[in-house]
Structure 1
Amino acid sequence: MAGESGVDAGNLDPEHDPYLWLEEVTGDRAMQWVRAQNDRTCTELTATAEFTSLQADLLEVLDTDARIPYVRRRGTYLYNFWRDGDHVRGIWRRTTLESYRTETPVWDVLIDLDALADREGENWVWKGANVLRPGYELALVTLSRGGADAAVVREFDLRTREFIGVDRGGFALPEAKSDVGWIDSDTIYVGTDFGPGSLTDSGYPRVIRCWSRGTDLAEAPTVFECKPEDVAASGWFDPTPGFERSFVERAVDFYNAQRWLLTDDGDRVRIDTPEDAEISVRKQWLLVFTRSPWTVAGTEHPPGTLLAADFEEYLAGARDLTVVFAPDEHTSLETYAWTADHLVLVTLHDVQTGLRIVNPGTWTTRPFEGLPRAATIEITGTDPDRSNELFLSASGFTQPSTLLRGCIDADDLAEQPQPIKRAPAFFDAADLDVTQNFATSADGTAVPYFVVRRAGAPAGPTLLYGYGGFEISLTPSYSGINGRAWLARGGTYVVANIRGGGEYGPAWHTQVLRAGRHKVHEDFAAVARDLVARGVTTPEQLGAQGGSNGGLLMGIMVTRYPELFGAIVCQVPLLDMYRYPQLPAGASWIAEYGDPSDPDEWAFIREYSPYQNARADRTYPPILITTSTRDDRVHPGHARKMAARLQEQGHPTWYHENIEGGHGGAADNSQQAFKSALAYEFLWRHLSGGADN
């Protein structure tokens, strides 16, 4: 079949790459090329009244004060980071629950990032704050220049609302991909760039030290280190009263890790669980979430099972495990969270969410009652230190988000979840239908997908979105951006729950690792064909969009399945699968894709690597490739080289690179609005008949 042929001699020899110079992130020649590409793309796509109006519409969605200010409880306060038109870079602020319940909460601003950036002459982008438990008086604030993963760390005093400078004994780290966490008010665990040999091949911390206030970081004692070829080392402290413990972890690859309990005398006790399992320790309990079959005491537990044990007894050798959750053909465990006395499970049944409450010890479960039906429910915050409070967000493709607050009693729901904030509707969804269909992939697997479209609409412009990797599930959710830019124009929106995600548990992901990767592409192509077969759209009117790992998927659709699509948007993508481990963070993904330096593994990777498979003698749909100069997770060289090669071959290719923005592609709301408008305008022009394809 056209679009599914293998690699042949006409393809690029990876050892003779004519565009290696585009991997020089800020090289003069590379940046000159970037600016020329940006000028061309902006001239052709943004110099219209329609684009200006669309961008303004999307910025209104991002900047409006009517959005829900999602919060995390830290002690007596609820904390929120907020961006709008008056706070472009954002403010970190807090309020009380009583005030938060009102229509106009009174916020106590802790950090004004715009003022800080102006004062220091830096384009700071917020990366988060680690607040010290249980006093919540100090924080380790992480700030990035332009949105990169590498960031600086500074200590902040929440009482005085001031950064604690190094001259006053404050903790501070220069720009790096650091891993920091509190032990107590005068001690932290830190992994960072200590100098040669202190980072892994993936660029993450290899060495963990225990740093005491007022001492030289270079003299801080090392408590743990992993191998250079590992992904990363990490260390953390659990301050739960009565269960204070320290842990260290060696991430062997993206999905396998070894963990130890650190004893008071400095010894390490191995937590002997499967390396590919996810574990957590809470008070006296150990939870183990399996990612592959695990046989214990003669019983085999399938992937996706959540098991519980007494932590101290387990360390001593006991293997008395209780099944807390067992998957079935249609139901998987998406995530879980602790309150003070309970465990709350979020499950997916054919990609529809449900919640259950678990009583630790007896491990009995019951449904979480009082929740909105036909909505995706997410746990946005809990208060495990102090109460059984939890915050939940409920939304759907056509349902704006509602924030609910509930409390769980020891025996029952003391307080049914109550709505405390509602987001506005950003588009008219009155005549929109949401349906779920199943496509049949090449190996016979049923692949679910959601369709959002006007009731009774004829075949028309349709946008198919996918990701398919790293066990990340795509569930129904409300997007004012998508609604205004696509659905309100009459477009149809489709989300494909292809393999590689976690919609049906770990096995939905693990079966496509390395040599099984082709199943991801086959699933997405099957959904595209099914949409046409059902009369939803035509190949000429079908567009596709994806970013990061989803950007790789888009590159594969262009080079291997071009006949299925009328236009494609490929964002912050991986595309050169021969060189990806040699570029920032790439080595950490070998467990997902395979190692191209191994001839046996390169044999299956080369079958789909978009950069090597681009052909001049094929007809490709128009493609827009976007990335960010400051993306230090997926190197911008992927996007640059692919665009240059496609253009050289004569394919209709547009390119735009944000000079800042990190892996998210945007550093503020204005940049986000521009990036989104660019993608939707490109797709609408090519799929609605507004451009010469």
Structure 2
Amino acid sequence: MTYPETRKDEVIDDYFGTAIADPYRWLESDLKADPAVAQWVDAQNSVTSRYLANLPGRDAFRDRLTALFKNEQSTTPLKRGGDYFFTRNTGLDMQPVLVVRDGETGAERTILDPNQWSEDGTKALAVWAPSEDGKLVAYAIQENGSDWRSIRVLDVQSGTVLADQIAWARFTLIAWAADGSGFFYSGSRQPDESGRSDAQVDNHAVYFHRLGTQQSEDRLVYSAAAEHPLLHTVDVTADGRYLAIYSTALMGGSALSLVDLTLPEWQVRPVIERFDHLSALVGNVGTKLFILTTDGAERGKIVTLDLAAPNLVFTDLIEEKPGAYLRLASLIGDKLLLSYMVDARIEVERYELDGKAAGAVRLPGAGSAGTFSGRPGDNEAFFTFTNYATPKTVYRYDVNANEATLWAGSDGLTDADRSPGEIEVEQRFFSARDGTLIPISIIRRAGAEAAAPTMLTAYGGFGIPLLPAYSPQAVAWVQEGGVYAVANIRGGGEYGKAWHEAGKGQAKKTVFDDFIAAAEFLKREGISREGGLAIHGESHGGMLVGAVVNQRPDLFDVALPGVGVLDMVRFDRFTAGNLWVSEFGSPSAEDSFNDLRSYSPLHNIKRGENYPAILVTTADTDDRVVPAHSLKYVAAIQAAEVGPRPQLLRVERNAGHGDGTPTQKIIDEYADRWSFAAHWTGLR
């Protein structure tokens, strides 16, 4: 390959006596504002486009992905004022639209259509919330995949967008006051225009916006000075009495504070002040709160708390369940619905409000059930269900009868070209280096037994689990004759806090060991054929891919790191990176620096080794993991002479970290990634 020429500067930093060269630091400049960086990216994209255009399977993958995306997707509805609000994508819409249904079976109409907001579909509807009476909807607009949001308010009946406008909302939810007078949201003060794309997350706070007023008049409800930067998100209880404020430093949990909105003066009352345990307000009955917590129960339990009591006393209601991790809980009707994760799949149990077991909820199959949405005292709830073979489907749940019925979507694709019956899923376990058994899901054509080109993925960070979910991308790979494998490695949240802690901070190398063990398992068991193992991962998963390729370039044939955190020496200097110190450790601390330096994908490229074929993907508006990570990594690996296979960069324009990406951009990106992988694994 002939790559574009890349400028190298003499930049050397001293870290605790260790000299670290950073010749490509100039690529950290905003590529939308720096002509030199933009020109370099254009040259890289040109080389990549010419290469991909000659791959034989590219059009076939694009056609197959397009067919697989032709499947209606809806979110669980929110019932407000007797109407049901939800989003829907009929399949190939660039963006989902917001729909209101008049009663459970009444007429439907679209009230917000982001597909009309921009010609290329790069303006998206982010979070949204209807007022309690269903007359208004506050909604956030996302542009080009950025994490910044602007918030507007829609009059549902007339379709009029009110004059109210909020700018610079970030990492926010929206929660209405019960009387509809305004809403709560989260945001940061406006950063300098010169640094918007890489402005760090700081001064994050909760505000209340009263309808009909200017944003400058918004009431500051909560902010906190802390050792680590904090993110704050909000919710209002179903009865409208309490505002719940969750504060997290991404340390594996969140603190919980409450505001009694019935009082004339809003006082923030800390309820749980630790950041290293999960805390979630499940619901309330008057002053009695039901809280999900991992404090004293690393796999989760339910406790109660009476705010009317003179002292805050937590009482265990539902104890930790052996062999299961309590991930979600809802208070609906007169029942507590608890969603447990068992071997990377969801099981739902029912309990009375006094803590007595009341049986299980029968799900449509083995897979993932989303949060049950509903209200205390209301017999109706909704949830989504999906697995690797079943597209996400919405079910209505009758709490008293303990029965679920189909509400929206399909419980199976009928088009023969897209039939989930063509694939089968098998969960197996492999042994990690230390003997720990780790689940891995293997998806392939029904009846296929011979070794085949295999695509392996994992995440392994921030306590985030990979649960069974339908993916057109995965099914496309399988329908072409490949195997798709998902490894539930440590660092994620599949088995609770201990599973996360085992791959966090100075234990991060366990994540790489687990992933390498998964790859070796696929080869040893004859699942992946020789010369046919590809790996992909995004964000933290992109870092994982970059790290294991450096450690074992002989093990993999293709690597697809997407929007990855690849410079572990400087990650904390950009956008949300200062929040990730709790996951990775700080480059400013010597012990942490030595760990980070030892596995940083950018700093451990083995010059002269024979590397797999690599296609790095990122986006120009990614202000969560800035594109500089990918740009610097590609510049370094192209200069390292790592064998005859290509090392290419694909930078998507007018897109971000993933949220809000138009459907067509997703299809085009995966057609490129999959055809590249298929070529170098022999799938095509």
User: TM-score, normalised to structure 1's length?
Assistant: 0.86
CA separation of 1:45 and 1:150: change in aligned 2, threshold 3 A = same
**1:379–1:390 contact (8 Å) kept in structure 2:** no
Cα shift readout 1:651-684 (whole Å, capped 9, x = no counterpart): 3301101012211177211101001111111111
Q: For 1:562, what is the secondary structure of its paired residue?
A: coil
Match of 1:424 in 2: 413
- Given that 2:171 and 2:233 are in contact with CA atoms closer than 8 Å, whether structure 1 keeps it comes out as no
In structure 2, relative to structure 1, the CA distance for the partners of 1:680 and 1:235 (3 Å cut) is closer
> Residue 333 of structure 1 aligns to a residue in which SS?
strand
CA 1:257–1:370 in structure 2 vs 1: closer, same or farther (change >3 Å)? Answer: closer
**8 Å Cα contact 1:206/1:228 also seen in 2:** no
**d(CA) in 2 for partners of 1:558 and 1:98?**
52
- Partner residue of 2:9? none
Residue 382 (structure 2) aligns with: 391
**Change over 3 Å in CA distance of 1:528–1:424 after alignment to 2:** same
1:75-474 map, 5 Å: 75=80, 76-83=82-89, 87-96=93-102, 98-99=104-105, 106-117=107-118, 123-132=122-131, 134-165=132-163, 170-174=164-168, 180-183=174-177, 184-195=179-190, 202-227=200-225, 230-232=228-230, 234=232, 236=234, 238=236, 240-241=238-239, 244-263=241-260, 264=263, 265-272=265-272, 274-277=274-277, 278-280=279-281, 282-284=283-285, 285-291=288-294, 294=295, 301-312=296-307, 316-322=311-317, 324-328=318-322, 330-360=323-353, 362-373=354-365, 375-379=366-370, 381-384=372-375, 387-409=378-400, 412-413=401-402, 415-418=403-406, 421-422=409-410, 423-424=412-413, 427-428=418-419, 430=421, 432-454=423-445, 455-474=447-466
Question: Which residue is equivalent to 1:5?
Answer: none
Asked if the contact 2:454/2:528 (under 8 Å) is kept, the reply is yes
TM-score by length of 2: 0.87
User: SS of the residue aligned with 1:575?
Assistant: coil
| Cα distance, 1:539 vs structure 2 | 5.0
What amino acid is aligned across from residue 326 of structure 1 in structure 2?
A: E
Q: How does 1:3-82 map to 2 (within 5 A)?
A: 15-25=20-30, 26=32, 27-47=34-54, 50-62=57-69, 64=70, 66-75=71-80, 76-82=82-88
Gaps of 5+ in 1: 1-8, 101-105, 295-300
Contact 1:131 1:138 (8 Å CA) reproduced: yes
Kindly provide the amino acid, as one letter, of the partner of residue 333 in structure 2. Answer: A
Q: Hey, what does 2:6 align to over in structure 1?
A: none
CA contact (8 A) 2:563 2:627 kept: yes
1:112 Cα deviation after fit? 2.2
Q: Which moved more, 1:270-279 or 1:27-36?
A: 270-279
Moved over 6 A (4+): none
More off after superposition, 30-39 vs 452-461:
452-461
Equivalences for residues 616-631 of structure 1 within 5 A: 616-631=607-622
List per-residue Cα deviations over 1:595-643 (Å, max 9, x = no partner). 0111111111111111111121322111111011111111111111111
Work out whether residues 281 and 311 of structure 1, in 8 Å CA contact, stay in contact via their aligned partners in 2. no
**Retained in 1: the 8 A contact 2:65–2:473?**
yes
How far apart, in 2, do the equivalents of 1:554 and 1:235 lie? 31
Instruction: Provide structure 2 residue ranges, at least 5 long, that are not aligned to the other structure.
Output: 1-13
Question: What is the aligned-residue RMSD (CA, Å)?
Answer: 3.0
Deviates more, 1:309-318 or 1:142-151: 309-318
| Residue identity in the other structure for 1:20 | R
Amino acid paired to 1:654: L
Trace 1:579-658 onto structure 2 (pairs within 5 A): 579-651=570-642, 652-658=646-652
Give % identity.
23
User: Aligned partners of 1:469 and 1:521: how far apart in 2?
Assistant: 11
**1:641-680 alignment to 2 at 5 Å?**
641-651=632-642, 652-664=646-658, 667-680=661-674
Alignment match, 1:297: none
Aligned residues: 648
Displacement of 1:46 in angstroms is 3.0
CA distance in 2, matches of 1:114, 1:429: 29
Q: What is the distance in 2 between the residues matched to 1:561 and 1:612? A: 15
Equivalent residues in 2 for 1:547-586, closer than 5 Å: 547-586=538-577
1-side partners of 2:94 and 2:474: how far apart?
22
What is the deviation of 1:82? 3.3
Give the counterpart of 1:500 among 477, 491, 495: 491
Q: Which amino acid aligns with 2:283?
A: R
2:137 and 2:300 map into 1 onto residues whose CA distance is: 36
Please name the residue that 2:10 is paired with: none
Cα distance, 1:42–1:501 mapped onto 2, change above 3 Å: same
Equivalent residue, structure 1, for 2:467: 475
SS of the residue aligned with 2:139? Answer: strand
- Deviation of 1:201 after TM superposition, in Å, equals 8.2
- Name the CA shift for 1:19/1:314 in 2 (closer, same or farther; >3 Å): farther
- Mapped partners of 1:441, 1:622: distance in 2: 26
What letter is aligned with 1:150?
W
CA distance in 2, matches of 1:355, 1:290: 17
Looking at structure 2, the residues matched to 420 and 190 of structure 1 have their Cα atoms a distance apart, in angstroms, of 30
In structure 2, what residue type is equivalent to 1:663?
H
Shift of the 528–174 alpha-carbon distance from structure 1 to 2, 3 Å rule, reads closer
Q: Give the conservation status (yes or no) of the 8 Å contact 1:231–1:254.
A: no
Deviates more, 1:387-396 or 1:80-89: 80-89
Determine if contact 1:666/1:672 at 8 Å carries over to the other structure. Answer: no
Deviation, 1:561, is: 1.6
> Residue 318 and residue 113 in structure 1: after superposition, are their counterparts in 2 closer, same or farther (change >3 A)?
closer
Find the counterpart in structure 1 of residue 3 from structure 2.
Answer: none
Farther-moved stretch of structure 1 (384-393 vs 147-156):
384-393
Give the letter for the 1:565 counterpart. Answer: F
> Alpha-carbon deviation of 1:558?
1.1
1:118-152 Cα shifts (integer Å, max 9, x gaps): 6xx994222121222x2121122111111111121
Equivalent residues of 1:334, 1:503 under 8 A apart: no
Q: Is the 8 A contact 1:336 1:345 kept in 2?
A: yes
User: What is the letter of the counterpart of residue 289 of structure 2?
Assistant: L
**SS of the residue 2:425 aligns to:** strand
**Aligned match of 2:4:** none
Q: Distance in 1 between matches of 2:344 and 2:44?
A: 40
Residue 174 of structure 1: how far off its partner (Å)? 4.9
Tell me by how many angstroms 1:74 deviates: 2.6
CA distance in 2, matches of 1:123, 1:582: 27
Alpha-carbon distance between aligned partners in 2 of 1:178 and 1:449, rounded to the nearest angstrom: 33
Return the letter of the residue paired with 1:212: R
C-alpha distance 474-325 of structure 1, shift in aligned 2 (>3 A): farther
- 1:229-252 superposed Cα distances (whole Å, 9 cap, x missing partner): 5333536462533x6023445434
Q: CA deviation at 1:223?
A: 3.1
